[in-house]
């Protein structure tokens, strides 16, 4: 008995024919069939492929044992599961409407949804060190001048005439002098360190606005029509 691969098939897997030509992607699995739409945005023909036409299933790909140009025959034929496609026999049977066809052969009108996506920018903040500040002291020399009032003594001599009168003793050659000491204030300089200012070092938060930019992508719908087809777009 041939392998059916039912547990390995998932929606969205790519389908290739026996010549490794891509047919489309699986849109749905039902009643033992793969529904594989073709054309732009799946608006072309939809093939109903039985599980018996699968040759192998890889991680994301389904490979058939039927060429692409014979897929239409699967609508009215059943694949012989006892042989590979090289020896396969398509047995003609009474045509049975597939799940996607009405008895009249018209494809059911079903809404198909295509999701459009776009990228958004998200800003994230992290604290990083951008620099540092050193606060220290250094010695600077400068010349200063102080004005200090000082007092000194001066000798004053006043001479004044007197009435003549007899003097005591005689005039001799001995030295007779008066010694008057003279004093003055002298200034000396002393240095003493005093506190003139205090510096407090701290930090504060300052908030500002920065602009960041980046390239984002978005998906837009592109509609292509062939032949006389009326397309109405509602937004």
Radius of gyration (Cα) for the chain, nearest Å? 57
pTM of this structure: 0.33
Query: Does residue 19 lie in a domain region?
Result: yes
Query: Does residue 77 lie in a domain region?
Result: yes
Look at the chain and report how many structural domains it folds into.
1
Question: What one-character DSSP code corresponds to residue 106?
Answer: P
Mean pLDDT of 137-163: 92
For residue 27, give its domain range: 14-92
3-class DSSP state for residue 40? Answer: helix
CATH number at residue 44: 3.10.20
Q: What's the confidence (pLDDT) of residue 91?
A: 39
Q: How many Å apart are CA 130 and CA 30, to the nearest integer?
A: 62
Q: How many Å apart are CA 41 and CA 231, to the nearest integer?
A: 14
Query: Does residue 114 lie in a domain region?
Result: no
Six-digit token string for 1? 């008995």
Report whether pLDDT(93) > 70.
no
Count Cβ atoms below 10 Å from residue 75 Cβ, excluding itself.
Answer: 15
3-class DSSP state for residue 42? Answer: helix
Query: Does residue 220 lie in a domain region?
Result: no
Q: What's the confidence (pLDDT) of residue 203?
A: 92
pLDDT digits (tens, 9 = 90+) for 166-213: 888 777 766 678 888 999 999 898 999 999 899 999 999 999 998 889
Query: Does residue 160 lie in a domain region?
Result: no
pLDDT digits (tens, 9 = 90+) for 15-37: 999 999 998 888 888 777 888 88
Query: Does residue 209 lie in a domain region?
Result: no
């Amino acid at each position: 008995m041939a392998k059916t691969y039912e547990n390995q098939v998932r929606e969205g897997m790519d389908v290739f024919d026996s010549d490794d030509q891509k047919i489309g992607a699986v849109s749905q699995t039902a009643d033992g069939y793969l529904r594989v739409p073709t054309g732009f945005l799946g608006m072309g023909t939809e093939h109903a492929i039985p599980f018996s036409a699968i040759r192998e299933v890889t991680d994301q790909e389904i490979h058939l044992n039927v060429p692409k140009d014979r897929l239409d025959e699967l609508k009215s034929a059943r694949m012989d599961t006892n042989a590979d496609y090289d020896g396969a026999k398509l047995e003609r049977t009474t045509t049975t409407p597939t799940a996607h066809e009405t008895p009249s052969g018209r494809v059911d009108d079903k809404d198909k949804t295509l999701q459009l996506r776009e990228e958004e920018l998200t800003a994230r903040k992290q604290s990083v060190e951008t620099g540092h500040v050193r606060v220290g002291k250094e010695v600077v020399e400068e010349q200063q001048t102080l004005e200090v009032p000082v007092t000194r003594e001066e000798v004053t001599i006043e001479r004044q005439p007197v009435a003549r009168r007899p003097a005591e003793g005689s005039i001799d050659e001995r030295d007779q002098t008066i010694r008057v000491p003279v004093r003055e204030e002298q200034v000396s300089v002393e240095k003493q360190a005093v506190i003139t200012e205090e510096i407090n070092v701290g930090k504060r938060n300052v908030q500002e606005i920065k602009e960041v930019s980046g390239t984002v992508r978005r998906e837009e719908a592109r509609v292509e029509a062939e032949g006389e087809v009326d397309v109405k777009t509602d937004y």
